[in-house]
Structure 1
Amino acid sequence: MKYLLSVLVGAMSYGILSTIVVLAYGEGYQLGEVVGTQLLTGCILAWLLALYTKIRQTRKQRSQGITPAAARQASPALTWKQRILLMLAGAPTVVTGLVYYQSLRYIPASLAIILLFQFTWISVLIQAVSKRQRPDKVTLLTLLLLFGGTLLAAGIMDKGAAHFNVLGLALGLLSAVSYSMFIIFSGKAVPSAHPAYRSAWMVTGGLLLLCILFPPYFLFNGLLWGQLLLFGFLLGLFGAFIPPVLFAIGVPHIGGGMAGILGAAELPVAVLLSSFVLHEQVSGLQWTGVVLVLLGVMLPELYKLRWRMADTEASQA
């Protein structure tokens, strides 16, 4: 149960981000300042966790009588090639954050998170094209649920497509594309490395890219020591620190399938906070769409889980 809860809380943490960003915009802060402080605090927290992990591993090895030379041979340090690969894999997270947070300037947070969740079918499409495989019936049903749920959850049936800002819609969909690329690249980037070290180097790569795109003037002009520091800390805590740590704890024990199901908790949390904190109007029809999107996300994993249980019962019989 504790591993299930760790993944669930990690997913819910992601759902808090859009509300914090909108509140930061309300205080007059700009995109580069918001994302910059998020990655800065997230990077500091990630490296503190990596340092704690290193100290804990060293103490454990000493208690077991393992010499430093034997420890290095058993678990060699990351090479610079691997570190650069991890930093490059972290770059799509910056693109996702930039376009997703920028979309919040033009469309409601409840709609932005719906558009971000289109990464589910976009990932399927990318994999189908790259592997030249036609999606199966379950995948097609999933895509149908996601498409129908998105139309309802976005409020298009209530308000019409002309009601929404085209640039905001485009940015929201672009965030889904970049997030899909992050999922694909991050899973292949040095999977043998410890999650704490992987996370630290990936966040570092994202921070370096952001400093190139948006020079961190907030470090020198005094803005950092105002409310920006609070917003950045909250975004770094709930976006760049808590979810990776909790996922690293829980996913190996519950499996990727169940993690995918629990990961969908991000969506209702974001919509709920948009409604209660930001006072965005979410109709009953839109909530129906949210439920359909959640079903679309969970359906493939539930289908796989059902077949695994059937195979287990058959082997036991």
Structure 2
Amino acid sequence: MSKEQIGILWISSASIAYGIMPIWTVLAQNNGFNSEFILFFRFFFSAILLLAWIYFRKIPLKLPKLKLLHFFMLGGIIYVAQAWAYLESLRFIPASLSVLLYHIYPIIVALIAIIFLKDKLKPTTLVSLLLCFLGLVLVLKIPQNLTLDYFGVVLSLIGALFYGLYVVFSKQIASGISSVLCSFYICLFASLVMLVSFMLTGDINIDSINYIGITSLLGLTFISTLFSMMAYFFGMSKLGVTKTAILGMIEPLVAILLSLMILDESLNLWQWGGAILIIFGSLLLFIKKG
């Protein structure tokens, strides 16, 4: 396999793991945990496990102060902002609409890369982007009689904007640094910020916590945070920011399919067509020029 194909596999795996996140989150929220605690828990314990792995593999932990500041901006501000805005948007608008709005971030990434990073948008990449976005429109088809809460719409768009910034800046900041170390500092700074937020605003109903909520919280931490973040950085080092963002389109597809199986939802014919477009659009990234 080529370096690019290996990167595609890593990013695809990260997207699948991220796609499970809404299932874990809904189950945790329905069984005693609020958004602030969920975010703090997943980031804090991911940081602890990553730190243990760093010491086990004897990876140098020290970074220049300026680089630490960059990671604080990336993890403690940008990553936290997108995660919080996305979760909070679910309180005001349907999940399907929130996911659709949030996943315009590949367009944001492509525009940032073209305008500020002087990247060239290849025809195959453009076609893949258009197919994936059209597929999302079909898969996440919104009922015509939907009444919008525009505050939720704004929150979802803010989440998309900050995740687009995260995709762009993470490649620049993480260049030449171990993916494990990158993931550790992002989780560490994100957990510190969320701890402050939880202490100021958080509240947990202990009586409503059960094994489903705890299991979901652990799945969210180990699978949809720890693994997905490391896979993301492994893949990011081998792909451009635009292709990485496009492969992120796999994430909502996974979320929809799991909702069918776990939450007993259903898809119509148009939505199945959209799922096929997303898969085909992602597979276009494997095509090489002759």
TM range (shorter): 0.7 to 0.9
Helix, strand or coil at the partner of 2:267: coil
2:129 and 2:15 map into 1 onto residues whose CA distance is 22
Partner residue of 2:36 out of 11, 19, 32: 32
* Equivalent in the alignment of 2:223: 238
Q: Work out whether residues 19 and 273 of structure 1, in 8 Å CA contact, stay in contact via their aligned partners in 2.
A: yes
Residues 9-20 of structure 1: pairs in structure 2 closer than 5 A: 9-20=13-24
Helix, strand or coil at the partner of 2:57: helix
Q: Work out whether residues 109 and 274 of structure 1, in 8 Å CA contact, stay in contact via their aligned partners in 2.
A: no
Q: Work out whether residues 38 and 234 of structure 1, in 8 Å CA contact, stay in contact via their aligned partners in 2.
A: no
> How far does the alpha carbon of each residue in 1:135-188 deviate from its partner, in whole angstroms, 9 at most, with x for none?
6655654554355334322213xx216355444333333222111010111111
Q: CA deviation at 1:285?
A: 1.2
Q: Work out whether residues 86 and 202 of structure 1, in 8 Å CA contact, stay in contact via their aligned partners in 2.
A: yes
Q: 1:36 to 1:289 in 2, by over 3 A?
A: same
Q: TM-score, normalised by structure 2?
A: 0.79
* Equivalent in the alignment of 1:290: 275
1:273 and 1:220 map into 2 onto residues whose CA distance is 27
Bigger-Rg structure (1/2): 1
Residues 104-183 of structure 1: pairs in structure 2 closer than 5 A: 104-130=90-116, 138=124, 141-142=127-128, 144-156=130-142, 159-160=143-144, 162-163=146-147, 165-183=149-167
Q: 1:197 to 1:218 in 2, by over 3 A?
A: same
2:103 and 2:235 map into 1 onto residues whose CA distance is 22
Q: Work out whether residues 195 and 248 of structure 1, in 8 Å CA contact, stay in contact via their aligned partners in 2.
A: yes
Q: 1:282 to 1:104 in 2, by over 3 A?
A: farther
Q: CA deviation at 1:8?
A: 4.0
1:144 and 1:246 map into 2 onto residues whose CA distance is 25
Q: CA deviation at 1:29?
A: 2.7
* Equivalent in the alignment of 1:96: 82
Q: What residue identity is the alignment partner of 2:193?
A: L
* Equivalent in the alignment of 2:56: 52
| More helix as a share of residues | 1
2:55 and 2:96 map into 1 onto residues whose CA distance is 37
* Equivalent in the alignment of 2:27: 23
Q: CA RMSD in A?
A: 3.6
Structure 1 residue 215 and structure 2 residue 219: aligned? no
Helix, strand or coil at the partner of 2:288: helix
For structure 2, list consecutive stretches of 5 or more residues without a partner in the other structure: none
What count of residue pairs does the alignment treat as equivalent? 282
* Equivalent in the alignment of 1:256: 239
* Equivalent in the alignment of 1:271: 256
Structure 1 residue 85 and structure 2 residue 89: aligned? no
1:261 and 1:222 map into 2 onto residues whose CA distance is 40
2:231 and 2:33 map into 1 onto residues whose CA distance is 30
Q: 1:168 to 1:233 in 2, by over 3 A?
A: same
Q: What residue identity is the alignment partner of 1:34?
A: I
1:8 and 1:131 map into 2 onto residues whose CA distance is 24
Q: Work out whether residues 72 and 186 of structure 2, in 8 Å CA contact, stay in contact via their aligned partners in 1.
A: yes
Q: Work out whether residues 41 and 232 of structure 1, in 8 Å CA contact, stay in contact via their aligned partners in 2.
A: no
Helix, strand or coil at the partner of 1:105: coil
Helix, strand or coil at the partner of 1:280: coil
Q: Work out whether residues 97 and 175 of structure 1, in 8 Å CA contact, stay in contact via their aligned partners in 2.
A: yes
Q: TM-score, normalised by structure 1?
A: 0.73
Q: CA deviation at 1:201?
A: 0.9
Helix, strand or coil at the partner of 1:162: coil
Structure 1 residue 197 and structure 2 residue 201: aligned? no
Q: 1:111 to 1:279 in 2, by over 3 A?
A: farther
Q: Work out whether residues 41 and 191 of structure 2, in 8 Å CA contact, stay in contact via their aligned partners in 1.
A: no
